[in-house]
Amino acid sequence: MNLGTLVFLALTGVTLAGGIGVVATRNVVYGAFFLLVALVGVAGIFILLLAEFLALVQVLIYGGAVTIVLLFAVMLTQTPEQRRVQDNPQRPLAVVAALVSLFLFSLAALTTPWKVHDDGAGPAVSFQELGIALFRDWGLPFEIASLVLLVALVGAVVIARAREEP
């Protein structure tokens, strides 16, 4: 067993422990912190795969922004009487969604012909290529995705405002 395998096992352990923590803990705030552990563990695996750019974006977006927004929502909405609610009737749906996405992702991962550099000199896809693909070849889908996000943002503000000023 070489150093890379050891590091991979350690990172996988951290990621899985974080993921199990998210679903196993009784405390929602703890769940958010465990989620951070899992997400940073995934960033570590990206670094191991020489995908520095993806790792840094993972830390920037998920580690910084998403976890904070999540914590914010939990802290501001959690009241003592709601704290007991840990379950709802959507449980079977969640199981189905998890299994379907596991199946689809493993299908995609196993059937895609990956571009591999065996010499370990650098990432198979540099971040320059990634940028060109995102903003030139796939520019329109990118714009549509950002438009959808903008609409969601404006919608959230409208809903919040409507309750504030009747």
Could you tell me the sign of the dihedral formed by the alpha carbons of 140, 68, 38, 94, in that order? negative
End-to-end CA distance of the chain: 66
71 binds other proteins (CB under 8 A): yes
Which of 68, 93, 96, 156 is close enough to bind other proteins by CB under 8 A? 68
CA atoms within 13 A on the CB side of 136: 6
Which of 24, 69, 98, 132 is close enough to bind other proteins by CB under 8 A? 69
- For other proteins, the closer of residues 153 and 159 by Cβ is 153
Which of 53, 125, 130, 142 is close enough to bind other proteins by CB under 8 A? 53
Which of 76, 116, 121, 158 is close enough to bind other proteins by CB under 8 A? 76
64 binds other proteins (CB under 8 A): yes
134 CB-near residues (< 8 Å, 6+ apart) = 142
78 CB-near residues (< 8 Å, 6+ apart) = 28, 29
- For other proteins, the closer of residues 102 and 147 by Cβ is 147
The footprint of other proteins (CB under 8 A) covers 3, 29-30, 33, 36, 52-53, 56-57, 59-60, 63-65, 67-69, 71-72, 75-76, 127
